[in-house]
A and B are shown apart, each in its own frame.
Chain A
Amino acid sequence: MKVLVSGAGGFLGRQVVERLLKGGHSVRSIIRPAAGDSPWQDDVEIFRADLRGHGELVAAFDDVDAVVHLAAATSGNEDAQFASSVVATERFLGAMARSGVKRLVHVSSLVVYDWSRARGVIDEGTPLLDDMYGMGPYTIAKIWQERVVQKFAAAHSWDITILRPGFIWGPRHALIAGMGRTVGGIYLMFGPLTRLPLTHVNNCADCLAAAVENPAAIGECFNVVDGDDVRVWRYVREYAKRKGPSGILLPVPYHVGYGLACLASLTSHILFGSKGKLPSLLVPRRFESQFKPLRFSTQKLTRLLCWKPPLTFEDCLKDTYSV
């Protein structure tokens, strides 16, 4: 199979390309013009483009059987993230619509779910967030990106698969939002016993490749997590063991943190009405979307794709911290 990978130069993209090559596929990678030399040898075709720009993209789809769409921003303000994730996706899929390629695997995120409405467990049936404008720029962009994908897929009868990974971690990317925050010299660990929706970058890449390869994935959405047995406390401890403590560790029970956020939000509402602004940690819905104690189901991945993460948590630790 010939697979086109957008965002191939990114943290996850590089691993996806490696995994596809190992799977015997030929790969065409889209990387940005200023990204430097190709990280691969001659076994990967390079298509240089920035999806936010005005360059023609249709040629990228020549002779392609499937597309993995990973390109998205993970930082920047709302406009920068919307441009990089949503407007870029519009341009990319506009070109795909003119190319005749029908198979698309899109990488979304667990942030598209409404964590406030999730009861006990997040699975593929959890309602999506529909009022997202009080959330952070990443959430807004990922929801709109998925909406754009769904619209194009419906209009052009594409065979799509949407994958929604949790916290993707790995070498040089071990710090994740669910770990907590450093405020001054104090490291606040919210909900030490909360289960983390972790997916190591190699496991996540393997899952993406499995979705490309397995026809059972067509027309489906999957949440991508390696499992949910690792709790915040353990993850932070493993991190601190190798990287050193990043301040005085202060475990804060989830409900205490959430209660403080509710109190701050209520005070802001009384004083300023709906226009009041608070840091993200003090916005209850944003706090929930990072720290709410939930379970994360992998049943659908196992049932439909028979997928299991190839690396255990210990393997992942070794891989992450050996660099």
Chain B
Amino acid sequence: MGKLKGVIIGCGAIAREHLRALESLTNVEVAAVCDISSARAEATAERFRISAWYASYSEMLADIRPDLVHITTPPTSHFQIAKSCLAAGLNVLCEKPITTTYQEFCELRELSLEKRCMLMENQNLRFHSIVRRIASLLKAGDFGDILDVQVIYALNVSGPDVPYTDPNVAHYGLALRGGVVGDFLTHIACLTHMFAGSALDLRTIWAKRANDRVLPADEFRAIVKGEHAPAYVAFSGNTRLNGLWLRVSGTKMYAETNLFEPPRLILRRSRTGEPALMSLLDGIVEARSVLTGTISGFWRKLSGASGYDGLSSLIERTYQALELRSLPPISLDEIDQVAQLVDGLAKPELKL
């Protein structure tokens, strides 16, 4: 059997992450890349030794019939490109957020079902090594019942020298609901959905702290009533301490991690015994976790591992599903539920 063919539309930073992941797959060949900038497309093709590059995706898809189209363009273009690909009967792996509105997603979902094509969103955090570890402990019953979930995204989007606030050229994220914060809601929603279950209800607060910046909002908080547990989710755009913290509390175990710094994970188990001794034991275990996690994380950076832990696995599983004609790594229903949650989170109920 020949190799599966992939093509990339959009040659920015995230496309390079897709291409690095694809380099390690022996059963996949990247047939071409495309970008509206010829130079960017050509540079990407040269760098990854890809034989063809295009400045028009219609021309590329007229010449090449790929098994999977990776859409790595800015979010406002996702819908049109994905729609054309699905209409042509092509499978799609689209960057997050898959569309800018839930209605657009529904249209793509119907089209993918009608054309029997795979429609996949890059929810790479589902396959993040630490997220998988917490999920497997949860599945094994180590957590007991889930009491609550916290997902806190902290990224400086409001500083004077960050691209999000460029006064000369509007950042693509400003076209999303919630502005550039909207670009991160999929990550928050996907983790919430994984650990708290489908959202039954939610309340949001949106705020703008840096009033001299172009951002419509730079702070966001929400409480989500999940099918399995409540979740507190947040985005802070004014911090200088960047991170993506996931905290899962169960009746028997507590897990805390910063997903920007894998593989550091702190687990605390309920123990029986003398409280003072157990507290000492917890401290020692925690210190060991932090130390080994930090050293492993540093080693990981030196090794050149992708900062997008989970993307490689998602891409590999997607091609595997295409090759074996098996179920996709993320079901359309899961993508739908995350898209609905993103839609809900993007609605400001209370503005500060």
Whether both chains belong to one complex is answered with yes
Residues of A within 8 A of B (CB): 32-34, 50, 52-53, 77-80, 82, 86-87, 89-90, 133, 140, 144, 147-148, 268, 271-272, 275-278
Q: Is there contact, CB below 8 Å, between A275 and B304?
A: yes
Contact of B39 among A33, A50, A87, A278 (CB under 8 A): A87
Q: Is there contact, CB below 8 Å, between A144 and B304?
A: no
Q: Is there contact, CB below 8 Å, between A278 and B47?
A: no
Contact of B13 among A33, A79, A148, A275 (CB under 8 A): A79
The CA of A33 and the CA of B168, in the complex, are separated in Å by 6
Contact of B43 among A144, A272, A278 (CB under 8 A): A144
Given A79-B12, A79-B13, 6 additional A-B pairs, CB 8 A = A34-B167, A86-B37, A86-B39, A271-B303, A276-B303, A277-B302
Question: Can you list the 9 inter-chain pairs with the closest CB atoms, starting with the nearest?
Answer: A275-B304, A34-B167, A50-B168, A277-B304, A272-B303, A87-B37, A32-B168, A79-B13, A53-B169
Q: Is there contact, CB below 8 Å, between B302 and A276?
A: yes
Q: Which A residues lie within 8 Å of B301 (CB)? A: 277
The CA of A53 and the CA of B169, in the complex, are separated in Å by 6
The CA of A232 and the CA of B99, in the complex, are separated in Å by 54
Q: Which A residues lie within 8 Å of B39 (CB)? A: 86-87, 89-90, 144, 147-148
Q: Which B residues lie within 8 Å of A147 (CB)? A: 39
Within 8 A of A (CB), among B14-70: 37-40, 43, 47
Interface residues of A: mostly helix, strand, loop or mixed?
Answer: helix
A-B contact count (CB 8 A): 52
Within 8 A of A (CB), among B151-175: 163, 167-169
Q: Is there contact, CB below 8 Å, between B302 and A268?
A: yes
Q: Which residue of B lies closest to A278 (CB)?
A: B302
The CA of A148 and the CA of B39, in the complex, are separated in Å by 7
The CA of A52 and the CA of B12, in the complex, are separated in Å by 14
Residue tally, chain B, CB below 8 Å to A: 17
Q: List 11 A-B contacts (CB under 8 A).
A: A50-B169, A52-B168, A80-B163, A86-B43, A87-B37, A87-B39, A268-B302, A271-B302, A272-B302, A272-B304, A276-B302
Which of B39, B47, B163, B304 has the most A CB atoms < 10 Å from its CB?
B39
The CA of A89 and the CA of B37, in the complex, are separated in Å by 10
Q: Which residue of B lies closest to A145 (CB)?
A: B39
Q: Is there contact, CB below 8 Å, between A277 and B303?
A: yes
- Contacts A79-B13, A87-B39, A144-B43; A276 near B163 (Cβ below 8 A): no
The CA of A32 and the CA of B168, in the complex, are separated in Å by 7
Q: How far is the CB of A146 from chain B (nearest CB, A)?
A: 11
The CA of A82 and the CA of B163, in the complex, are separated in Å by 14
Q: Which residue of B lies closest to A82 (CB)?
A: B40
The CA of A32 and the CA of B169, in the complex, are separated in Å by 9
The CA of A86 and the CA of B12, in the complex, are separated in Å by 13
Q: Is there contact, CB below 8 Å, between B37 and A90?
A: yes
Contact of A87 among B13, B40, B163, B304 (CB under 8 A): B40
Q: How far is the CB of B229 from chain A (nearest CB, A)?
A: 38
Q: How far is the CB of B25 from chain A (nearest CB, A)?
A: 15
Q: Is there contact, CB below 8 Å, between B303 and A86?
A: no
Q: Which residue of B lies closest to A78 (CB)?
A: B13
Q: How far is the CB of A99 from chain B (nearest CB, A)?
A: 19
Q: How far is the CB of A56 from chain B (nearest CB, A)?
A: 15
Q: Which A residues lie within 8 Å of B304 (CB)? A: 272, 275-277
Q: How far is the CB of B342 from chain A (nearest CB, A)?
A: 24
The CA of A50 and the CA of B180, in the complex, are separated in Å by 21
Q: Which A residues lie within 8 Å of B303 (CB)? A: 271-272, 275-277
